[in-house]
Chain A
Amino acid sequence: MRVAALRGGSAAARLGAGGSALLVFACGTVLSAVAQRHLLEAAQTAQRLVEFNIGEAFGLAACVSLVLAGPRAVLGRGDLVVLLVAALAWFVPEHHGVYLATTLAGMWFLLARRSDRLLRDLSHMWLALSVYELWGKLLFKLAYQLIEVFEVAVIQRFGRLLFDGIAVDGARISVRGDWSVVLLEGCSSFHNLSLTVLIWLSILKIARHPADAAAARALGVSACLVVAVNVTRILAMLPSREAYLFWHDGSGATVVALGSVAAAIVPILLCVERGACRPMPHR
């Protein structure tokens, strides 16, 4: 027990107040959003649950990894004040709104502490989480009519390969007269792409891998796969109400969500692992 206590003490001493504050802030933000969602929001479908938790889990894992494995964080008084002010957003009664906290702290560290690598990397993660959880969704809702017209056109183009009579009216897609599907934010590839970028960035930060050309190619592959999975899923919903329920709310939704997450993870993971395992030349 004494050894454990000593180890705990040395870890806390190594982290210092700065590292501990960063950890508490990162965990507190996700914890507040999760508590709001699960205690006070309407029930979610399995597909949304998988997607949301995966995005937050990767973002949080990257933040914790940066703080624990990186250099000792040194925060000034101004940094702590910003963290405290930003933490007031934990009380926003809406789970996306909680991520105002990471927006504010991320912007501060990006603009004011860009010379500190740890704080700069953390600011990237916090801003990516904010975009995924809050600003991306807001942008989508504001420009819904513009984005969806484009996305529905892409789905229609691929749908012609499978269905003869695929018809589109605004965001409404149908292959028969008495049944149609309306594309909303949760089903949009736009949403899945922001998750892909978050996962990609999290893996890069955890692996301490630069965002080089190979990583950008991996992101491109992931994006194409994720869009392909999503378009296929929406096309699979079109034939009937039963098909819709299976792919939107049933086990089909979970399979697709896991497939999307795998499509987001595998290319960048292969890229990072290939780099890590590359044999070093003898000198």
Chain B
Amino acid sequence: MPAHAAPLTPWARGGLALLCALVVASVVVRVEVSRRQAPPAHRDGWEASGGPVDLGMGGLWPRAAAGPLTMRVAECAAPIAVDFVEASPYQPDPSLVGRPGPTDHVAYVYRGRVLDSRFITIRLNAIYLARLASARLTGDRMPAIDELAVKVIVPAGCPISPEAVMAILRASAPPGSLMP
């Protein structure tokens, strides 16, 4: 192919100059940020918080009390099972915790959001990663790696919704665990 040079139009030259400027700017910004930042040892975001579990709508549950429990309600003949499962992507499959019966209704509640359709595990991971990405972009505190979601197992034939179970759970939270 003949290599005759086409004339550089002003927009092509301008585009190339802008790209070069963006390369320089992206490196300079990072060098400047790294100079101002604390040493890496003091900015590790992936830490365990040990904080209470967020039940949504201002409700908190003490981490020390975050174990499997059962709940009796008038609408259901059998008790409702509630458990606390780890919600970060690198935890074991939470669906294996507190195995339900084949016709039981299972829902997860993560920071007040109810997930009760298919691919619950993937959706839990997606919410966690979205929070992580948002924290990176906005410079907020990173989500803790030990965050917990609530797993609700409603027995078959029981008409109560996961939201109603969460309302009962929030109401029965130990004293002093509600947000001010």
Contact = CB atoms under 8 A, between A and B. Distances in A.
B77 interface: no
A87 interface: yes
The 4 closest A-B pairs by CB, nearest first: A170-B92, A17-B12, A80-B15, A28-B23
Contacts of A227: none
Interface residues of B, number: 42
Given A14-B5, A16-B5, A93 B137 contact: yes
B1 interface: yes
Contacts of B95: 145
Given A77-B11, A83-B15, A90 B23 contact: yes
Contact of B26 (A35, A83, A142): A35
A77 to B, nearest CB: 6
Given A17-B16, A142-B129, A171-B92, A91 B1 contact: no
Contacts of A149: 93
B3 A35 contact: no
B40 A144 contact: no
A212 interface: no
A16 B12 CA distance: 9
Contact of A17 (B8, B22, B29, B121): B8
A49 interface: no
Contact of A31 (B8, B23, B92): B23
B12 A141 contact: no
B125 A39 contact: no
Interface stretch (A19-27, A153-161, A198-206, A231-239): A19-27
A138 interface: yes
B3 to A, nearest CB: 5
A80 to B, nearest CB: 4
A80 B12 CA distance: 8
13 contacts: A18-B12, A21-B16, A28-B22, A31-B27, A35-B30, A39-B30, A42-B40, A84-B15, A90-B26, A91-B25, A93-B139, A145-B92, A145-B121
Interface stretch (B31-39, B59-67, B105-113, B160-168): B31-39
B118 to A, nearest CB: 13
Contacts of A91: 25-26, 29
Contact of A141 (B8, B18, B31, B89): B89
B15 A17 contact: yes
Chain A, interface SS category = helix
Contact of B6 (A16, A93, A172): A16
B18 A84 contact: yes
B6 A83 contact: no
A6 B82 CA distance: 76
Interface string B106-133: 0000000000000001100110010001
Given A93-B136, A145-B121, A149-B93, A84 B22 contact: yes
B23 A24 contact: yes
Interface string A123-144: 0000000000000001001111
B13 interface: yes
Contacts of A162: none
B47 interface: no
A113 B91 CA distance: 43
B120 to A, nearest CB: 10
B16 A142 contact: no
Nearest to A89: B26
B96 interface: yes
A39 B33 CA distance: 9
B19 interface: yes
B12 A13 contact: no
A219 to B, nearest CB: 28
A39 B11 contact: no
Contacts of A50: none
A72 interface: yes
B1 A71 contact: yes
Contacts of B26: 28, 31-32, 35, 90-91
B22 A90 contact: yes
B27 A141 contact: no
